[in-house]
Structure 1
Amino acid sequence: MSRQDHILLTSTVLAEGNRSEGNRHQINRVFDYIQTGQLKLIDW
C-alpha cells in the first residue's frame, strides 16, 4: 500500500458519513493487516 493509498483510506475513515457495517469491517481489516505486517506500506 502506498503512502497515498494509506492517506486516502485514513481520510475516508475520518470523514463524516454513513458506512455500512460491512464497509467498516473491511476498513478495519486493512488496518489490522498493516499492524500485523501482512500488508506492507511502501514509499515511506
Structure 2
Amino acid sequence: DRPTEGNITLTGSDMNDLIARDRHALSRRIQYVFQDPISSLNPR
C-alpha cells in the first residue's frame, strides 16, 4: 500500500519510488523495530 502522507528515506532514496524488485532486495537487508509507545514515553 502507498502511504497517504509522509515519506521514508533511506540512504538518500525515497522508498516510495522504488520498484518492487528493488524494494524486495532492500527488505532482505533491513528490518522494522516495533516499539510500545506507552513504555517509550517519559511519564513526566
Greater relative contact order: 1 or 2 (C-alpha under 8 angstroms, separation 6 or more)?
Answer: 1
Higher percent of residues as helix = 1
In our comparison, the structure showing a higher alpha carbon Rg is: 2
TM norm structure 1: 0.33
Structure with the larger strand share: 2
